[in-house]
Structure 1
Amino acid sequence: HPTATTRPWDHAAGVGVVVVGDSISGGHGLTTAEAWPAIVADAQGWSLTNLSCDGAGVAALGDDDDCASDYATIVGRAVDLRPEVVLVQASSNDLGLDTAEVRSATDQVVDEVHRRLPHARLIGLSAIWNQDAPPAQLASISGALRHALAREGGTYVDIGEPLRGHPTWMQSDDVHPTVRGQRAIAAAVTAAFERDHVRF
């Protein structure tokens, strides 16, 4: 985990960006360099630290063999990195949890970023689903992040459903994208940033 001595952008030219996300933004089954955050970072010249964790969400705890933490705890691990931007990806790992619990946990994540990283810009991204139509609750999970950012400060970006209709872009588990799928997500994130005039 990051410590006070691991600050990769102290002397870096690019904007310091931390990603708080799940196994999709972490590139499960692939290398971290093949995950969409690294693809976008390379294109944009960011100095990136990807703290994404398998199984994690705003309320869901990550896998025991990974971070065993929810997003608020992961935010705490970013503090010593002093990022200029924190990207938070809404997650399907929160599916099945009580809607009120997800809303409360989302508010906590946003509060934690503002409290512990007061000078960082917070950008929230909508949740990602596979090649099929997403379950209805996924919109509520993304909506909780959108509302929290609108109320408490930050920028929300809807990246759409870049994997829908493309089963060959999914790994055999139908949950995690292939390299091609990760590239599609990266393209969707980049296009959404341009559409919404999000500049770092």
Structure 2
Amino acid sequence: MRYCWPIRPDSSSTFAVSTYYPRSASFPLQLGRAILLVCAALLLAACGDRGPARASALPSGATVLVIGDSLVAGTGASRAQSWPAVLAETTGWSVVNAGVPGHTSADARGRLEGLLSELRPDAVIIAIGGNDFLRRVGEDTTRGNIEAMLTASKAAATHVALVAIPEPSMGGQMLGMLSDHALYERLADEHQVALVADAVSETLSQENYRADRIHANADGYAYMAGRVAETLAEAGWLNR
């Protein structure tokens, strides 16, 4: 039996009576629906973090454009010992080294359209940004330039990858603990391209792989090429 205080039939009476009713029988159903909605949201979030779909393997002889700065050009060793040259030997691809020492993301962006039109590459690998960081170019500017390069590359080639560049850190280098600038993971996720993470950071963190503070030596570029090839194989670019 339910009891309540006698009340007058005014606007407050409905509230007074309702507070004494037992919990609705539909409460377990409502709770179950809420749990299902939370689970669905978590599943959607997980799907959004899967990254780009696995690419098809590039055949031997495929044209691969690598655009960047001195770390692409091979400064600290020779162009023949640069990581794009070693990557070509490893994969059998026709790798075009479009690295220019001293170039920023703005410079690379300015060159890219002509290179895409001339070469019509099957794949594009972008490795730029180090000089932006050293010259303290605004992050928004660097981000905008790389975004434009990713968009243009995806429109021109079937395979696109972004090589992460480390955030400048004298302490990190001395301790052998350089780490990628967070900009690159965000850009790769947003544009759904393959991310070559840690290849440059790991190379420049090891003194025996450096020619100077910001460039690799021949052994370093060979190591870097191996890390690039490993990542691209995982992304489906190479049959292993």
Aligned to 2:121: 83
Contact 1:18-1:51 within 8 A present in 2 as well: yes
Q: Secondary structure at the match of 1:163?
A: helix
Residues 1:112 and 2:152 aligned together: yes
- Change beyond 3 A, Cα 1:90–1:178: same
Equivalence for 1:167 = 207
> Of 77, 96, 99, which aligns to 2:139?
99
Q: Which moved more, 1:83-92 or 1:138-147?
A: 138-147
What SS is found at the alignment partner of 2:202?
Answer: coil
| CA contact 1:169–1:181 (8 Å) conserved in 2 | yes
Q: Does 2:82 match 1:35?
A: yes
Q: Distance in 2 between matches of 1:55 and 1:140?
A: 22
Counterpart of 2:161 in structure 1 is 123
Change (3 A) 1:199 1:168: closer
Match of 1:189 in 2: 228
- Check whether the contact 2:65–2:98 (CA below 8 A) recurs between aligned residues: yes
Instruction: Give the match's secondary structure for 2:99.
Output: coil
Where does residue 145 of structure 1 map in the other structure?
187
Alignment-derived partner of residue 157 in structure 1: 196
Structure 1 residues 23 and 32: CA distance shift in structure 2, 3 A: same
Residues 183 and 100 (structure 1), Cα distance of their counterparts in 2 relative to 1, 3 Å cut = same
CA distance in 1, matches of 2:111, 2:71: 16
When residues 110 and 164 of structure 1 are mapped into structure 2, their CA distance, relative to the original with a 3 A threshold, is closer
1:136-163 C-alpha deviation (Å, 9 max, x unpaired): xx5134235324423xxx3223244332
- Please report the TM-score for the alignment, with normalisation by the length of structure 1: 0.74
CA distance in 1, matches of 2:194, 2:65: 15
What is the TM-score of this pair, normalised by structure 2?
A: 0.62
Local SS of the residue matching 2:178: coil
1:38-71 CA distances to partner (integer Å, 9 max, x unpaired)? 1011110011211111122323xxxxxxxxxx12
Which ranges of structure 1 fall in alignment gaps of 5 or more residues? 1-11, 60-69
Task: Report the counterpart of residue 73 of structure 1 in structure 2.
Answer: 110
Assess if the C-alpha contact under 8 Å between 2:125 and 2:163 holds in 1. yes
Q: Which contiguous aligned blocks of 4+ residues in structure 1 show a shift greater than 4 angstroms?
A: 128-131
- Aligned partner of 2:222: which letter? R
CA gap 1:147/1:71 in 2 versus in 1, 3 angstroms: farther
Aligned residues: 171
The answer (yes or no) to whether the contact 2:105–2:142 under 8 Å persists in 1 is yes
By how many angstroms is 1:97 displaced? 1.7
Report if aligned partners of 1:91, 1:141 keep a CA contact under 8 Å in 2: no
Deviation at 1:13, TM superposition (A): 5.6
User: Cα–Cα, structure 1 residues 148 and 97, in superposed 2: closer, same or farther, change >3 Å?
Assistant: farther
- 1:175: how far off? 1.3
In 2, the alpha carbon distance for the partners of 1:75 and 1:104 equals 14
> CA 1:107–1:145 in structure 2 vs 1: closer, same or farther (change >3 Å)?
same
Contact 1:20 1:89 in 2 (8 A): yes
Secondary structure of 1:43's counterpart equals: helix
Cα deviation, residue 198, structure 1: 3.3
Structure with bigger gyration radius: 2
Percentage identity across paired residues of the two chains? 20
Q: Amino acid of the residue matched to residue 122 of structure 2?
A: E
